[in-house]
Structure 1
């Protein structure tokens, strides 16, 4: 929208008899010729080819500057043709600017009818015309011409410290300063404090906060600015980058012209952050900086709380900081890492150096689940990205292993476009990189695996025959050897109790694995994550722990310091862990990745094997005594095998690796008349004697209870109500045998 002008237009070549000095404004303004010239060249108000900024500005240069400042630069090209001035060539570039100014009522002519384009413009010429551009007319001023216009220019702070007389010629330097001030001066009558650049729609200064590369919510032709989301042509997008403030022209929500970067910025790429101290690489060495607290921080267009910045920042994010000196309202823009188009790892040949558009090379690290991996560890349902910072540096390859297994329940569409899939009644949105043409291969009810990208959106779908679950890191903390509450195929992990699918190799206690888990079932072992140090304890004299090393040598140690301790499957502190260590305990230690200190320790109690009843016909137990090396037999005191009695309950006790073993004998029984079978004789779990209920051990042979004896009264041949029996009890108080 152009400003309406009236009365006297540009005054050219009027030799004035008055040549006086008008006092400068009382406001102190620094004359920064260099900055003003650079800014005006950027806008085209001063020709970019001008090198001698101390030369006089000509009438031709002034008319062009006025036209461009008033937003008439684009229309001037279409207005080239005949002019009212004989010294302006018809069809010349200058004729376009002259005609544009004439059309706006800003130029009426000169005394002799000529334009004199090569003559020098005067101080009064530029003052008069700038006052008119700001919407003032003769009736708004007091005093005689041209002093009234020059004084008004001074009042508007257009002429601070220039100290020129009315007919002095104006240099490019001085003109640049005045135009710079003109653009930020409020126009007459504005109720919104609109300055001249806004009124003429010459430019808008925008902080570029995101583009489609740094923010998936933007289309390819969109950018996010502090003035909102703008569309931008491909040619203009190449001129602009995220972070700095750019001077642009905006028309109907579209950036139609990019003048250039307004202020200097500095960019750092986050390696790590501690509090509000950011560590980053500079010239090949890691350095750090404390984020300045007195500026505004923006992330995806939203202003962020300084105290919470460390909860936002992650490696390879970039922080672009407005680094201008003497600029108020400095700011910083935080951008996400830049992700390439995702590539599905299905059928990836690990011997290849490429996957789609992604290239693998020896210098580029590959990261998966927060750890560095090799190409060989990329799975067929992984999604792979090449990741850089906003400047295309600090490249690494990111592998995400996140997928959903289930049956397709619906293909979700809106506005005639399929944009999501529903699996087991839960919907997942497609990534903009999802090839939806592949959906024709699927139908509702199909069992599928839906691959999820880094942004939580679907990037691929594949059919599967059965669920294998998702892969994760699990620390094995216990099994049947460490807890009678577990079944043969169960393990305790740091994420709860899981069942191991039949046919899988045994999982070692104390070891971290990458496992595929579906619900609570371990369906596949991907790999072992670490190695462990194993200590079989022989005795404890606190704080010294005696143990036997792998070579069979006796040694001692105190329990090493570690970051975490586990005992009975839960995390405990050091003191609890140290007190838990007993003779025949097992200690598993894992060193940290840097090999300095220990990451965690797992303490496991002595393992009491399966309880067995000592009887002459127990061939299995007799053979164990012959074939297993044990240190001693203990029943209240050390005894010999010949001292064992019938129906003694025998346990072979050892560490979990069976390195050190002794035999523990338990000889507690309960005799009495059975008064009840609980809950009933068809499904017995225990018996009642003397009003006390005793439960069958998991090791009790229940087959003995389920033989039909052919009698009228039932099934139980060994246990009947009102019969006198002896219950052989194990150390946990459950029934091991009955006689």
Structure 2
């Protein structure tokens, strides 16, 4: 038996001879009743689906726009694939001239038998179309009018449309005018409905509906498939399964290209896909995908609601919206997909992310949760994006993420504000990233970090949303900004706790940055921290309970004595909201003074708000539990017991001074006798009276400026880092010029002899410091000059004063130095950073300390506000594994030294850019960079040094 199939709409001549269609009733003169146009929740999904499938090129009509008859015919013909018909300029209706925008579509619909006008030679294209009229045209277009005619118009067509499910999600009454929202949903249903076809069986014909042969398949070569995604390019559902290949997924053993969709994120889901496949294609390409949530049992749990103490490998415990503890049992054979990659469910750690979610799926409604999808996000705040090396840098020092599109071993997906972006160039500074990496670890502080060495897949969700506003209230979990209460993320709490950002001040203006869950992740306090760090408290003053202002006199680490006003409320040793002064025993004033109201002179940590007021104070005091919640760690007292070695900056065989160590130099402790309470006397050391009452006896110095070889200092030691490196200390009975490891570098332009105001012969130094010209005299009372490694090759002060040693200048044009001055501004100490006569000698003396360092090297690259230096000439040409360091450029003063002209001038980042790339080491431009905590403070560029 021979069966021949033909589309009903494709055999126009035969159809017209069998069943002529007259739509005289489709456009009556009566106006359709007025109806209230309501919001159609399916509008957006329908419009997006039609455009994704390529059925409609444009779906820009507003949801509530009432559609005209001509417009509907045009949309229907486009959806049916009839866009190549009706171009013969033949006029069918009196009111549809060839120039009409609807002419081609109306002519095509007429030729295909979909319309026949009103019977009076007119079509009325601008009249609003009713649902009855739209339904009749749709039923005819699909070929089902052969059944609908039996009951007549409109009942027969409406009933047939309901049988075909054409009216699913169409929110409109039969006589209502249809809106764009109704039309888009109707078209979605039309293109996915099986066509009624005329089938020839021998010498007979009959109508037959063939499943799967739709408008999409017959006119657009688009086909529909349902099933579970069992593999993608990164992983398979089972840890033992095979990947699907790059940019592919697998459903029931069949591969599909993902195309422009996000199909790969639905690994493990039961989905519905529509794919395009021409006769020449071996693999179809997905145009549209939807998870079939109606076919799956799904439990989604936010990471914040998970109860780790009750969760096991077999049970996920969490709190519901009513704070009731719930438990869901996980199938012992469940497949685990952790951040996009299949893993064995062998640790509770995998079910308890700190940020993100856990999704339990019963993918086949069998009653067992057979798929566990875990998304564990680690927060990043973008500080820079390097498009040349495909790296993302974090604002707060986390490991860089490298997403190289040419690296076949790593896959990634980046979404920014709900839209996919091709690569990292679509990201910008201050974007908040939720990064799900396939491999994580927990560091020594118990913080989850990305294991970049093992991660093979990254899912990055970026948000740009921020809000500028004022905080009116806050607590541990929320901030009220501009009157709206926002949750803060766990990452925000971590940044506050570790002092990577400071607690915002009530009433101050900040920029708040949010993650994809609309939680505050960080605040942009650029310029808010006007001062801060560690200082030595010299004085405390408070007026009265009426005027509760508290002032702190602090010797800053730069050597400057500054008086600060405290904010009304201060974070004291980690305790928020402590009153500066209220007359109680718990206020800031009481904490920093003795019983007589005098300041307890001590090292403190502090920071200020944008008004310059103290908002954080940290001391070494312990709380009632014996803990210290501040950033200031007190190690203990070292009283003249350990000897100092200048060659390696060691103290005994136990300690070493960090290259950035700050020493607060204070008077020697006074020894006095006091009553011992038993009628006798006892000797104690005190830090008050005498020299302690004169602020001029307090100074700040670097280790090399304060200590000499074999000294056995009296120290109070704070903040001892790794390898017992002393970072902060008080030294008793010593003084120093005001120079620390924090001092800015300077470049010398000229040295001359001069006569000072006292008639003394001096050596006068001209140059630039911090991008500003300076002029200072070397102290006529003597000074020291040391090399950067701490050695002093100039033991004879007389030859230093003559600025010559064995005929070689000690100081010369182009030298980069740091110097400290006395109270009269005379240079007392000079420390070489780079010797212009022999700069290469400093190339490997980088002294990379935690906080401050000065390096000399070749500029490799300059990009997006960052500079990279390479130190080893033999590694300059390497693209990987070279020793290099990246520094942030932030309003940085740049000074350029011209070796030919022996001049110094200010420069710009543009100058840096012109000197980048040291792959040709013979012409590479050298430079000195002074940085603190990775941020460049000043730069000296060396040119024409041949």
Bin of the TM-score, shorter chain as denominator length: 0.3 to 0.5
Higher RCO (CA 8 Å, separation ≥ 6 residues): 1
Q: Larger radius of gyration, structure 1 or 2?
A: 1
Q: Give the alignment's TM-score, normalised by structure 2.
A: 0.28
